[in-house]
Structure 1
Amino acid sequence: MRSFLASLPLLLGTTLPALASDCPAATDHSVELDGIIAEIQSAPDEMTARRLSNGLWELWTDAPDAQAQDLLGRGMALREQYAFLESREVLTDLIEYCPDYAEGYNQRAFSSFLRRDFDSALWDLDRALEINPRHVAALSGRALTLMGLGRDEEAQATLRAALELNPWLSERSLLKEPPGQDI
């Protein structure tokens, strides 16, 4: 049966999508992430923190294998071309292939956010954060998405959580003073 399935694409002249079981586990970058976050938290200025944040993106966008990397790259490139629906489709393929890869959900959320589809973005961000609770970009994206939904109190709490990890986020300007306190 397996050999028949393997030969099916040749018979049909197409390729079959890979199964989620084919996706290897993403590399565990938790030690490196913790180190970069610690450096960001003690950064002397915003420019230094921004440079360090690039290291986070390098780790987050390190897909589990070449196929996942290709899907991630294509999805992000389509989004940069303002092809948000097409980007979502490619990133959905990535998520179906690698359902435990947080960045697939984070990037699809960004495509949804840019379309102002905040409900879809929030669902994806919540899933990304289930997989990687210290994903600073998903936290800040979640805060912005909640603001888009008019859920400001929850957005402020999420933004505070993101700022605990990276106090230099540009979104810090959206933080409101806690009630009864001066900042």
Structure 2
Amino acid sequence: MRELIIASVAMLCMAAPLPVVADQDDPRLEELFDELQQLDPRRGQRAREIQAQIWHIWYLHEDARVNQAMERGLKALAQDRHEDAVAAFTRVIDLDGDFAEAWNRRATTYYVMGRYDDSLSDIERVLALEPRHFGALAGRGLCLKALGRKREALKAFQRALEVNPHREGVYLEIIRLRSELGQAA
């Protein structure tokens, strides 16, 4: 799972940003989430496109300093320079404490570092700012699972799947946890 997180971060580092600045309050998100909910599960490519659009919207900020610090953080995370990544994302949070994606990226870094309680704390802030943040919801599940809190992890993964029913990895985590907890799939 760690390799998947690092690979995803690296891909985001290389992705060209969209020309329009946005964040978790962007009005386009409503339409994208509606389409994601109504999309036929057999339309996997379209689901991936919608998810990518959502991630781009969440990631972009109007302040160039924020964007530069985010890029530094992503590059540091991709290079396993975790303390540098935490410092960069903390800088972003200091610049704009309401920018959900900065909290999410720092939570991801804490998770990779094995600092699950710190990650969960940041995830709570992400979800206060953007309750539909399926990445943070899944991250909550991963942290809770790592802490041995399987029932809570299962609920977190189920919530992530409610928000975005096209996350295969989340679905697999639900199956695994149900099996471990002796619940029917």
Q: TM-score range by the shorter chain?
A: 0.7 to 0.9
Structure 2 residue 96 is the aligned partner of structure 1 residue 98:
yes
- What SS class does the counterpart of residue 91 from structure 1 fall into? helix
Superposed displacement of residue 64, structure 1: 3.5
Superposed displacement of residue 180, structure 1: 8.9
Number of the residue aligned with 1:42: 38
Of 70-79 and 35-44, more deviation after overlay is shown by: 35-44
Code of the aligned partner of 2:25: D
Whether the 8 Å CA contact 2:101–2:126 is kept in 1: the answer is yes
Structure 2 residue 109 is the aligned partner of structure 1 residue 111:
yes
Residue of structure 1 aligned with 2:147, choices 146, 149, 154? 149
Question: Residues 52-67 of structure 1: matches in 2 within 5 Å?
Answer: 52-67=50-65
- Unmatched 5+ residue regions in structure 1? 1-24
The TM-score with structure 2 as length reference comes to: 0.78
Residue of structure 1 aligned with 2:49, choices 34, 48, 51? 51
Distance 2:157 2:136 in 1: 10
Q: Quick one: structure 1 residues 84 and 74, their matched pair in 2 at CA, closer, same or farther if it must change by over 3 Å? A: same
- Unmatched 5+ residue regions in structure 2? 1-21
Q: Quick one: structure 1 residues 181 and 115, their matched pair in 2 at CA, closer, same or farther if it must change by over 3 Å? A: closer
Q: Quick one: structure 1 residues 85 and 42, their matched pair in 2 at CA, closer, same or farther if it must change by over 3 Å? A: same
Cα root mean square deviation, aligned: 2.1
Distance 2:105 2:118 in 1: 12
Number of the residue aligned with 2:173: 174
State the identity as a percent.
30
Code of the aligned partner of 1:124: D
Whether the 8 Å CA contact 1:94–1:104 is kept in 2: the answer is yes
- What SS class does the counterpart of residue 68 from structure 2 fall into? helix
Distance 2:96 2:72 in 1: 15
Deviations 1:57-114 (A, max 9, x none): 1111012411111111111111011111110011111111111111110000111111
Deviations 1:33-76 (A, max 9, x none): 12111212222323321121001111110124111111111111
Code of the aligned partner of 2:39: A
Number of the residue aligned with 2:28: 32
Code of the aligned partner of 2:70: L
- What SS class does the counterpart of residue 57 from structure 1 fall into? helix
The TM-score with structure 1 as length reference comes to: 0.79
Distance 1:100 1:118 in 2: 22
Question: Residues 14-25 of structure 1: matches in 2 within 5 Å?
Answer: none
Number of the residue aligned with 2:82: 84
Distance 1:115 1:27 in 2: 26
Superposed displacement of residue 133, structure 1: 0.9
Whether the 8 Å CA contact 2:24–2:99 is kept in 1: the answer is no
Structure exhibiting the larger radius of gyration computed from Cα positions: 1
Q: Quick one: structure 1 residues 52 and 27, their matched pair in 2 at CA, closer, same or farther if it must change by over 3 Å? A: closer
Number of the residue aligned with 2:158: 160
- What SS class does the counterpart of residue 51 from structure 1 fall into? helix
